[in-house]
Structure 1
Amino acid sequence: MTRYPAEVDVAIVGSGPAGATYARILTEQAPDAVIAMFEVGPTVSDPPGAHVKNIGDPEERARAQLRSEGPAAHDDGDRVGGIVKTAQRRARPGTYLLETGYQVDGEDGLPVAAMSSNVGGMSAHWTGACPRPNDSERIGFLDEAGVLDDLLAEGERLLGVTTDAFDSSPHAPLVRGRLAAAADDGRDAHAKVQRMPLAVHRRDDGRLVWSGSDVVLGDETRGNADFTLFDESLVTRVLTEDGRAVGVAVTDRRSGESHEVRARFVVVAADALRTPQLLWASGIRPDALGQYLNDQAQIVFAVRIRDFAPAEGGDGAAATGLSEYSGVTWVPFTDEAPFHGQVMQLDASPVKLADDDPAAPGSIVGLGLFCAKDLQASDRVEFSADAVDGYGMPAPTVHYRLTPRDHEVIDRAKAEIVRLGKAIGEPLDERPFMMPLGASLHYQGTTRMGETDDGKSVCSPDSEVWGTPGLFVAGNGVIPTATACNPTLTSVALAVQGARHIARALASV
């Protein structure tokens, strides 16, 4: 007997924050809708979709990370992420790299483009940063309609965004103050140095709880008898009839059996590489599908805080699982300074920049600047008609080049990160380091939103795919602008817009 229903109102492909947003908003606004969510990976946390940082036992956390690392997950004794090729091709724990197709000869490529396969997607492994976009990062046609800030506020509600989680960090005011003195001149109030908005909250016992898709789903969705999450379920095709989406074909990865699930609406919220892959495999191929792929070049630097004085009373690591010294500080993107800055203590950073000083723990902080990409249609992901990936889906090939403008912005970011670092303390190395392309994990643009169907976008402002009624796309790939800030809040905000559209359509029938 199949574990899948014959038909539902809404089929959601992918269990990351954007897919979870559709489930949550529909639960709230269309309470009679029958919703099925399909995730190719396993459930690795309790509740499903929870962040692995919330798993207290290190061995259990490592097992959850390993199980998230795709169809070829393995531990060969030197594992850092699902696939290790060279010192320059290492995936973070909980993610896995493209085995092939990540770089074409003569191009820059995305050598460390990575994905996760687990309930919650990458939100089970992310840093939780949720800044709002600024200046040209914002989506003009939504700004003009006056809806973008409403959508962002709703995204903050769903993700559980706070700005005070690290207010007890003893050196956060010092770091933030020194950065402000170096960077705030000439900036508007909203673009000045400030606390990083984070999808994290503090429990009554003092422990930090990081948001994953479990927080987005909430008790409301988990308690919805008409919502079902199916893990280890590979959706291989969106079904269409007379040009309209009418369901999905799904393979049970446990049994190998394939089934069709009819749906009135289909939402594909895989990620910026696998969402266009599924559309392409389904024969749904708008001109812009896979185009305008963009990553954020990432520059990193580490300094030792000048005039460091150890905090009294310890760092609270026993209560929180994290040494809280300097918090997480945000230097917002502006058009004049086209990079987004994050400054944090070492053990909050996803990138290991240095070993902390055992004599003065917390004295070393890491800086990261993310650069906005010069958008080009030629930066794209294509799919093979013959070769397949580890899941048997069309194999991707990434075409990606840095433009002269990109190199100019990167050079400016390298100079700026040294300047900001020296404002905080003494550099551990005078030379900043540029991470291999793809390291940001912030891939966008491949199913981009547009105001009109002009061949340069894949979906409408409501995220419905042009020319395929009933099919919606979600996730970072929908973002149409060149951003430097972390994209999750924006992609959740756009998912809110799409979910509201479906809720209205269901109510009108």
Structure 2
Amino acid sequence: MSLPSATAYDLVVVGSGPTGSTYVREVYDRHPTARVLLLDAGPRLTDPPGAHVKNIPDAGERARAQRASEGPGPAGRPGTRLLGAPDLPAAALSTNVGGMGVHWTGACPRPGDGERVPFVPAAEMDSHLARAEQLLHVDAHAFDHAPFADEVRARLSALFDPGRPEDRRVAAMPLAVTRRPDGAHAWSGTDVVLGRAAHDLRVEIADRCLCLRVELDAGAVTGVTVRDLADGGERTVTARAVVVAADALRTPQLLHASGIRPPALGRYLNDQPQIVHAARLPDDVVTAHHAVTGRTRDEDGAIVPQSGVSWVPYTDAHPFHGQVMQLDASPVPLADDTTVEPGTVVGLGWFCAKDITAEDRVEFDDNTADAYGLPAMRVHYRYTERDLATIEQAKKAVTEAAAAVGVPLDDSPVLLPAGSSLHYQGTTRMGPADDGTSVCDSHSRVWGTQGLWVAGNNVIPTATACNPTLTSVALAVRGAAALLDHLRPPADQPSGRLAFSTPTEDRCSRR
């Protein structure tokens, strides 16, 4: 709990999730003198900061970390609070160091077909995706030895692969996991993105520190004003650049509060409609394979491979993305019967590409404040006729997938309430031109505002169905390259280092 220790930084990043931390890491690695401030309104849960809460071996400690992430308001899924938006009733947010990167399921598929950003050159995007996979520690083979994985994928492949190009066929889901010294795997959190930057004095992490506004002068960023949520103290710090990476709802909120209000701000909101089902593997499959018995996770927090996570990729003809998951990898509880052998019941989740419209949006009320004193949000969101048709198509596909995998546990799949995906996108979308339909350019620089970048799923402009984290981290890698050019001094200047004030004595620790 602290205010920043200094009054000047090269870079301030608002929001410590995977994309904000990507900017920190790229600047830390490639600019040896830059001093960086990373702000988060939530608490630090772990040491190192941003570690995945699923890796906490003690169930009580894990639950306490999740509760600490919820922030004010009614609790949603563990680690989140509900936004309270009637049009998006399941919309939920996490408030903690590491953002959703300490709660997520680690799925990192590459986008394909219409999911890809058309105005980012393909070769450049592939390079950015490869770097994002490095930062997140993505491994497509982590569960290769799971007892039931091959059988599950073989059954899905027989159903979905005919007619698909090779790169869009059923495969093991690329997962953000970290191999431990003992050979076991644990979930990657935001700590793996930060790497050494989390422990270097050049990077200051201020938790429970709310950014109230981005400060501007003549259309250029000059810094930010922040509040210590413990005692209400405020401070303005200067910066040569600011990145706002506060998620797809709070990023446009902060820009609005700062008077930065391009026409597209908050518009083109995209939540992927999510359909779930469950199936039990046939008895002959269970008998033929050696299963892990009596537990779903190691006592020390490692992942226990069971049936793995399989991926049915999006295609333009099949405009949804499927995941078939062992239960501890699923964000949605799928069975109450804890006596079933681990891995023998799998969850099927299908995410649909949304029909993106400017009318789907989040608005901000300057006359009403939220729990943090920022302009209150109001969400406008609906399914179009095209969305309803896609949802019905996806229900048919997931029903067929459940029957192919084994014995469906329910009569039919369930469409979850809007907002359940937690994959909110588009509200500060990038575009090829400043024509009123985008907030930033292809390098995530906010149009008309020098020194300001945005980051997160909110910059993705396309109708995606795949999990968006890998894409948004790749776009952050792209944006960070442009930010580094902004920070580097002209050739005739010896250093890009700012003159820093002497750190003040704060009541709370910063590290």
Q: Residues 368 and 421 from structure 1, CA distance in 2 versus in 1: closer, same or farther, beyond 3 angstroms?
A: same
Match of 1:11 in 2: 12
- In structure 1, give the amino acid aligned to 2:413: P
- In structure 1, give the amino acid aligned to 2:213: R
Asked whether 1:93 is paired with 2:78, we answer yes
Deviation (angstroms), 1:321: 4.4
Secondary structure at the counterpart of residue 318 of structure 1: coil
In structure 1, distance between residues paired with 2:342 and 2:359: 46
Match of 2:508 in 1: none
Q: Determine if contact 2:264/2:428 at 8 Å carries over to the other structure.
A: yes
Match of 1:36 in 2: 37
Match of 1:299 in 2: 275
Match of 2:292 among 314, 325, 328: 314
Q: Determine if contact 2:186/2:303 at 8 Å carries over to the other structure.
A: no
Secondary structure at the counterpart of residue 179 of structure 1: helix
Match of 1:114 in 2: 92
Deviation (angstroms), 1:17: 0.4
Q: Give the CA RMSD over aligned residues.
A: 1.5
Task: Show CA shifts across 1:355-400 (max 9, x none).
Answer: 3462544221110100000000000000001111111111000000
Secondary structure at the counterpart of residue 61 of structure 1: helix
Deviation (angstroms), 1:3: 4.2
In structure 2, distance between residues paired with 1:273 and 1:95: 14
Q: Determine if contact 1:300/1:434 at 8 Å carries over to the other structure.
A: yes
In structure 2, distance between residues paired with 1:3 and 1:136: 42
Asked whether 1:163 is paired with 2:164, we answer no
Match of 2:494 in 1: none
- In structure 2, give the amino acid aligned to 1:269: A
Deviation (angstroms), 1:505: 2.0
Q: Residues 304 and 357 from structure 1, CA distance in 2 versus in 1: closer, same or farther, beyond 3 angstroms?
A: farther
Match of 1:154 among 131, 141, 152: 131
Deviation (angstroms), 1:290: 0.2
Match of 1:366 in 2: 347
Asked whether 1:328 is paired with 2:305, we answer no
- In structure 1, give the amino acid aligned to 2:330: S
Match of 2:324 in 1: 343
Secondary structure at the counterpart of residue 303 of structure 1: strand
Match of 2:442 in 1: 461
Secondary structure at the counterpart of residue 153 of structure 2: helix
In structure 2, distance between residues paired with 1:61 and 1:466: 41
Asked whether 1:186 is paired with 2:163, we answer yes
- In structure 1, give the amino acid aligned to 2:70: E
In structure 2, distance between residues paired with 1:470 and 1:301: 46
In structure 2, distance between residues paired with 1:209 and 1:295: 28
Deviation (angstroms), 1:123: 0.7
Task: Show CA shifts across 1:441-494 (max 9, x none).
Answer: 000000000011010000011111001111100000000001000000011011
Match of 1:442 among 418, 423, 434: 423
Deviation (angstroms), 1:202: 2.6
In structure 2, distance between residues paired with 1:149 and 1:497: 11
Deviation (angstroms), 1:37: 0.7
Match of 2:231 in 1: 255
Q: Determine if contact 1:475/1:491 at 8 Å carries over to the other structure.
A: yes
- In structure 1, give the amino acid aligned to 2:242: V
Match of 1:207 among 157, 170, 184: 184
In structure 2, distance between residues paired with 1:489 and 1:359: 33
Deviation (angstroms), 1:323: 4.3
Asked whether 1:267 is paired with 2:243, we answer yes
Deviation (angstroms), 1:312: 3.4
Q: Determine if contact 1:152/1:490 at 8 Å carries over to the other structure.
A: yes
In structure 1, distance between residues paired with 2:313 and 2:409: 24
Task: Show CA shifts across 1:115-149 (max 9, x none).
Answer: 000000011100000000000000011135x3110
- In structure 1, give the amino acid aligned to 2:310: T
Q: Residues 326 and 506 from structure 1, CA distance in 2 versus in 1: closer, same or farther, beyond 3 angstroms?
A: same
- In structure 2, give the amino acid aligned to 1:152: L
Percent of residue pairs identical: 55
In structure 1, distance between residues paired with 2:199 and 2:419: 37
Q: Determine if contact 2:222/2:241 at 8 Å carries over to the other structure.
A: yes
- In structure 1, give the amino acid aligned to 2:152: V
Secondary structure at the counterpart of residue 164 of structure 1: coil
In structure 1, distance between residues paired with 2:480 and 2:467: 22
Asked whether 1:452 is paired with 2:433, we answer yes
Q: Determine if contact 1:297/1:370 at 8 Å carries over to the other structure.
A: yes
Secondary structure at the counterpart of residue 5 of structure 1: coil
Give the TM-score normalised by structure 1. Answer: 0.93
With 200-209 and 297-306 compared, the bigger mean Cα shift is at 200-209
Q: Return 5+ residue gaps in structure 1 as ranges.
A: 73-82, 85-90, 104-108
Q: Residues 360 and 28 from structure 1, CA distance in 2 versus in 1: closer, same or farther, beyond 3 angstroms?
A: closer
Match of 1:421 in 2: 402
In structure 2, distance between residues paired with 1:196 and 1:3: 40
With 497-506 and 269-278 compared, the bigger mean Cα shift is at 497-506
Secondary structure at the counterpart of residue 264 of structure 2: coil
Deviation (angstroms), 1:322: 4.2
Match of 2:369 in 1: 388
In structure 2, distance between residues paired with 1:423 and 1:378: 39
- In structure 2, give the amino acid aligned to 1:136: G
Match of 1:142 in 2: 120
- In structure 2, give the amino acid aligned to 1:213: T
Secondary structure at the counterpart of residue 362 of structure 2: strand
Q: Residues 359 and 474 from structure 1, CA distance in 2 versus in 1: closer, same or farther, beyond 3 angstroms?
A: closer
Match of 2:381 in 1: 400
Secondary structure at the counterpart of residue 298 of structure 2: helix
Secondary structure at the counterpart of residue 234 of structure 1: strand
Q: Determine if contact 1:346/1:356 at 8 Å carries over to the other structure.
A: no
In structure 2, distance between residues paired with 1:356 and 1:32: 55
Deviation (angstroms), 1:429: 1.2
Deviation (angstroms), 1:313: 6.7
In structure 1, distance between residues paired with 2:219 and 2:146: 55
- In structure 1, give the amino acid aligned to 2:57: G
Deviation (angstroms), 1:345: 1.4
Match of 1:225 in 2: 201
In structure 2, distance between residues paired with 1:42 and 1:361: 34
Match of 1:198 in 2: 175
Q: Determine if contact 1:4/1:261 at 8 Å carries over to the other structure.
A: no
- In structure 1, give the amino acid aligned to 2:194: L
